[in-house]
Structure 1
Amino acid sequence: MANPIVLRSLDEIRFWSRIMKEHALFLSLGFTYEQKQLIAEAQQFIVIFERIEEKLARFSANTDIRQIQAFNNEVYQAAASIWSYKRKVLGLTLRCEIRHNNFPLLIDHVSREAAYFANRLKELNEGKLAPEPEAIIAENVFFLRIMADHAKFIGHLLDPSERKLVEQAREFSHDFDQLVFQAVDLDSMRPQSETVPMLDQFLDQNRVSVASLRDFKKTARELIEACRIKSNIHPLLADHTFREAERFLEIIDLFEASLNAQSIKG
């Protein structure tokens, strides 16, 4: 039987390496012509993560755990490096040392995802397959913020004349901001004895909201690809945000399976 750490490691690297590569592309497209060095650095990261994807194809579910741990360490270094690059760009932006077309919140957003990716690889090499119940809320907060950010970016990148879609994006932004605050409240008031029932309800509520946003992103992606709405949204960016919503739904399912398994053991 394949080692679950191996399977999860390959899955995380397959998903997040593509995300990191696309982040580098999106940042490079947002820089101005004069910012050649930053563009070149972004393009180097595209190459780095393409090589990781090529190497990933050589591994399988039956690969020895020690090889996977070594690969996790290698990818961790790449994730940590692109995180540093993103934070450097954010610092330059906030100090007004450079001006370009990447929102500061977007740069912070993509750096949070790089940090999450690096941390997941570290956890897997420590043998941590799924978070403990008390960590599930924090991870949901991370993804709820990601979804809220996506709604904000979509709203800002749509042409102002697309009033109905802009309003829908704003409504999703508000809804997910409220879910973040609700999750923070739940974390502070959660009685230890009622962990599983409360988390089950919390995850069910999040699933409904994420599925609704996922469907909105899917429609927006299809309209953008067909050139049926006016926006500054790259078709790949539309697909990128859709895939991240799909990922959140998968993670909610994993959390619920983990909670059910712990409930049975208890």
Structure 2
Amino acid sequence: MKAEVFVSRSLNEIQFWSRIMKEHSFFLRLGFRAEDTQLIQEANYFYNLFEKIEHRSHGFQANEDPAVIQRFNTEVHTAASHIWAFKRRILGLILTCQLPGQTNFPLLVDHTSREANYFRNRLAELNQGKLEPLADAIIDENVFFLRIMADHAKFIGHLLDPSERKLVDQAREFTHDFDQLLFQAQDLDSMRPQSETQPLLTQFLDQNRISVKALKDFKQTARNLIEQCKIKSIIHPLLADHVFREAERFLEIIDMFEGALTHPNQPFHIQH
């Protein structure tokens, strides 16, 4: 991997995902009970930790020494590993009924832990100079993000007030659509096409793009209505923006892969 690509991809991943990790800490804290003082303190610790990481990541230049970025990646990988362990511990407490009355869905906690694991794995791969073959990367990224989008639709449906029947029905439709897309992606995963120029991969990305764009627009509308206090829900405005940004991220990744399929000899990475 060329030095400039390594630096660009590393900073892009950290700038995006450190903000996501920071916000996860905030959302988890909101769901804890007042007596969960230790968990609240830990959530605050991770919020501050990833806020500092996010701020530092914007201080590096595109021509930064790769050795400096490699050390930064290692440091952030450790932080991502720790918040992953924190989230898995919370999930264990919830599943064993040791936090009765807290309001974090088990699936939401699992969802946030999967994103932390994705983040730390991406940093490890970058530091090791690993780049999957394009076809494998397309399938793996889509399997991951399609599940994330399906989860989002489920959360939105459950956090809207039941009286918001039209929006609840739309969320259910998106849940079904993305569950089906995930199943299709998992089927493709088991087949593992090796050719990076197969029309199958282009069709796969085109199909996903249409659905992700529709979900992104739905999230954007919901976010705006929540900010304007025009719908009834228990969705925090920051959570509405959070899931919208993750849909945007997925569309950027689809764009990256489509560009790579068109120009297979160029390195593929998300542009700043």
Higher helix share: 1
Query: Superposed, which structure 2 residues align to 1:167-182 within 5 Å?
Result: 167-182=169-184
Cα drift, residue 184 of structure 1: 1.3
Provide the rounded CA distance (Å) in 1 between the counterparts of 2:201 and 2:96: 41
TM-score, normalization by structure 2: 0.93
The aligned residue for residue 190 of structure 2 is 188
User: What is the CA deviation profile of residues 211-239 of structure 1, one whole-angstrom value per residue up to 9, with x for unaligned ones?
Assistant: 00000000000000000000000000000
Structure 2 residue runs of 5 or longer lacking an equivalent are 268-272
- 2:70·2:127 contact (CA, 8 Å) conserved in 1? yes
Higher mean C-alpha displacement, 101-110 vs 50-59:
50-59
Indicate yes or no: 2:112 matched with 1:115. Answer: no
The aligned residue for residue 206 of structure 1 is 208
Query: Superposed, which structure 2 residues align to 1:46-195 within 5 Å?
Result: 46-99=47-100, 100-128=102-130, 132-193=134-195
- 1:8·1:129 contact (CA, 8 Å) conserved in 2? no
Helix, strand or coil at the partner of 1:3: helix
The aligned residue for residue 43 of structure 2 is 42
Tell me the amino acid that sits aligned with residue 6 of structure 2. I
The aligned residue for residue 233 of structure 1 is 235
- 1:196·1:263 contact (CA, 8 Å) conserved in 2? no
The aligned residue for residue 8 of structure 2 is 7
Cα drift, residue 78 of structure 1: 0.5
The aligned residue for residue 220 of structure 1 is 222
The aligned residue for residue 16 of structure 1 is 17
The aligned residue for residue 262 of structure 2 is 260
The aligned residue for residue 270 of structure 2 is none
Higher mean C-alpha displacement, 48-57 vs 68-77:
48-57
Provide the rounded CA distance (Å) in 1 between the counterparts of 2:130 and 2:192: 23
- 1:4·1:129 contact (CA, 8 Å) conserved in 2? no
The runs of at least 4 consecutive aligned structure 1 residues that moved more than 6 Å come to none
User: What is the CA deviation profile of residues 146-172 of structure 1, one whole-angstrom value per residue up to 9, with x for unaligned ones?
Assistant: 000000000000000000000000000
Provide the rounded CA distance (Å) in 2 between the counterparts of 1:157 and 1:264: 43
Cα drift, residue 119 of structure 1: 0.6
- 2:215·2:247 contact (CA, 8 Å) conserved in 1? yes
The count of aligned residue pairs is 265
Tell me the amino acid that sits aligned with residue 209 of structure 2. R
Tell me the amino acid that sits aligned with residue 48 of structure 1. L
Provide the rounded CA distance (Å) in 1 between the counterparts of 2:63 and 2:249: 24
- 1:130·1:255 contact (CA, 8 Å) conserved in 2? no
Structure 1 residue runs of 5 or longer lacking an equivalent are none
User: What is the CA deviation profile of residues 116-159 of structure 1, one whole-angstrom value per residue up to 9, with x for unaligned ones?
Assistant: 00011111112235653123212201100000000000000000
Q: Tell me the percent identity.
A: 68
Provide the rounded CA distance (Å) in 2 between the counterparts of 1:111 and 1:131: 26
TM-score, normalization by structure 1: 0.95
Q: Residues 143, 191 of structure 1: CA spacing in aligned structure 2 closer, same or farther, 3 A cutoff?
A: closer
Helix, strand or coil at the partner of 2:33: coil
Cα drift, residue 190 of structure 1: 4.8
Helix, strand or coil at the partner of 1:222: helix
Helix, strand or coil at the partner of 2:198: helix
Q: Residues 66, 158 of structure 1: CA spacing in aligned structure 2 closer, same or farther, 3 A cutoff?
A: same
Provide the rounded CA distance (Å) in 2 between the counterparts of 1:2 and 1:122: 16
